[in-house]
Amino acid sequence: MKQVKLYLNYAGHCLAKESEAIQGGRKQKIKFHALWGLIEHPEKGWILYDTGYTPRFYEATSSYPSKIYAQLVKTTIEEHNTVKAQLAAQGISHLDIRHIIITHFHSDHVGGLRDFPNAQFYASRKALDYTLSLSSMFAFSKGVLKELLPDDLAERTTLIDEICSKVIHPILGEMYDLFEDGSLYLVPLPGHAAGQIGVLLETPKRPYFLIADACWLKKSYEEMVLPNPIVKLFFHSWSDFKASLHKIHRYHQAHPEACIVPTHCAETTDPLVQTKLDMDVL
């Protein structure tokens, strides 16, 4: 693979019971950090992997029925912790971000999209179409807050499964070569959300597989332990979720050198995030 550089950090968090995230987990609530990533491509420049929360979440959930969403997830985000503010503190203007990979359209992954007016978005056809088809009134029940989405979302979104070259991985199956140079492969990981994708990349240090919410805790893909069945109510497809998890499990077994990164697994992400932006650590 063509190597890139990677930086990871958090932009807010919500709370969820560990016992719901994984069968046999503790009943206590744990932080589900909104992980985001900055990728440095040698030709394409800065690329964002998701955009975390922003305080716009509070505005979007200030009244019913969307307020139910905020009551369930108990989100915390301050302006200085948004992706835009973090980048500015490190000398990177939000106007310099030209590419954003959207793994799926849940609010903790797209909260900052409106902060990057010069960016082209990349998502799957199924993810975009499903999101746009949801009614503004009840989209919250599927984890989507339409107020967070740019008005020109459809026009600015490149549909990876229609534009990018398809590559067949022996374990992961179909994936898409984002820039046609072998640097970033976008891997379909549906189930948790319609059309969800992950990112396969390699830095000078090691390979990384950013799997979004294909599972929440690393024990899931390591030992094939599923979440509590209650979460089926919020998933797009339970059968697709299990199939995606099985692919990740097999990939982990075949490539133990790769760092697999579920967005909300603090055990995985805490050692990876850094206060100071340094593109040579990961």
Low-confidence ranges of the chain (pLDDT < 50): none
Distance between CA 207 and CA 238 in Å, rounded? Answer: 28
Q: Each residue of 102-147: pLDDT tens digit?
A: 999 999 999 999 999 999 999 999 999 999 999 988 999 999 999 9
Distance between CA 172 and CA 167 in Å, rounded? Answer: 10
Per DSSP (E only), the strands in the chain are 5-17, 29-41, 45-49, 99-101, 120-123, 157-159, 165-169, 173-177, 185-188, 197-202, 207-212, 259-262
Domain ranges (residues) in the chain: 5-269
CATH class of the structural domain 5-269: alpha beta
